[in-house]
Structure 1
Amino acid sequence: MSAHGPVPAVRGAPCWVSLMARDLEAAQEFYTAVLGWRFRRASLGEEFCIALAGGQPVASIGALAQSFQVAVAWTSYFAVENADETADRIRERGATVAVGPLKLGPGRAALAADPDGATFGFWEGQTLAWSVGQGNAPASLELRTRDAFAAAIFYAEVLGWASGEPGGCDVTYEHDQVIVSDGTHAVASLRGGGVESAPDPRVRPRWHVHFPVRAIEKVTATAVAAGGTVTPVTPTADGKGCQAVIRDPDGGLFTVTST
Structure 2
Amino acid sequence: MTTVDAAVPVRGAPCWVSLMTRDLRAAQDFYGAVLGWTFRPARLGDEFSVALAGGQPVAGIGALAPSLQIAVSWTPYFTVESADDTASRVRERGATVAVGPLRLGPGRAALAADPDGATFGFWEGQTLAWTVGRGSAPAILELRTRDAFAAAIFYAQVFDWASGQPGVCDVTYEHDQVIVRDGRDNVVAALRSGGVEAAPDPHIRPRWHVHFPVRDIEAVTAAAVAAGGSVAPVAPVTGGTGCQAVIRDPDGGLFTVSTP
**TM-score, length basis structure 2:** 0.95
User: Tell me, what secondary structure is at the counterpart of 2:191?
Assistant: strand
In structure 2, list runs of 5 or more residues that go unmatched.
none
- Residue 247 (structure 2) aligns with: 246
Contact 2:11-2:167 at 8 Å conserved across structures: yes
Amino acid at match of 1:219: V
The secondary structure found in structure 1 opposite 2:158 is helix
Paired-residue identity, %: 75
- 1:62 equivalent in structure 2: 62
Deviation at 1:7, TM superposition (A): 1.2
Alignment of 1:50-199 (within 5 A): 50-184=50-184, 185-192=186-193
**Deviations 1:53-109 (Å, cap 9, x if unpaired)?**
010000000011112222100010000001101000110010000000000000000
3-state SS of 2:151 partner = helix
Structure 2 equivalent of residue 196 of structure 1: none
Paired residues of 2:196 and 2:205 also in contact (CA < 8 A): no
The answer to whether the 8 A contact 1:2-1:57 is kept is: no
Moved more, 204-213 or 5-14: 5-14
CA contact (8 A) 2:6 2:129 kept: yes
- Give SS of 1:210's match: strand
Once residues 255 and 95 of structure 1 are traced to their aligned partners in structure 2, the CA distance between those partners, rounded to angstroms, is 26
Is the contact between residue 242 and residue 258 of structure 2 (CA under 8 Å) also seen in structure 1?
yes
- Mapped to 2, the partners of 1:110 and 1:62 lie a distance apart of 14
Distance 1:90 1:69 in 2: 20
Q: How many Å apart are 1:36 and its aligned residue?
A: 0.1
Give the Cα–Cα distance (whole angstroms) in 2 for the partners of residues 78 and 225 of structure 1.
33
Please identify runs of 4+ aligned residues in structure 1 that moved more than 4 A. Answer: 199-203
What's the TM-score once normalised by structure 1's chain length?
A: 0.95
Deviation string 1:238-259 (CA, Å, 9 cap, x unpaired) is 3410100000000000000012
Give the letter aligned to residue 98 of structure 1: A
Q: Distance in 2 between matches of 1:87 and 1:181?
A: 23
SS in 2 for 1:183: coil
- For the Cα contact (< 8 Å) 1:160–1:168, is it kept in 2? yes
- The 3-state SS of whatever aligns with 2:111 is strand
The amino acid across from 2:224 in the alignment is A
Equivalent residue letter for 1:8 = V
Q: Which amino acid aligns with 2:16?
A: W
Q: RMSD in angstroms over aligned alpha carbons? A: 1.3
> Is this contact kept in 1: 2:48–2:62, CA < 8 A?
yes
Unaligned runs of 5+ in 1: 194-198
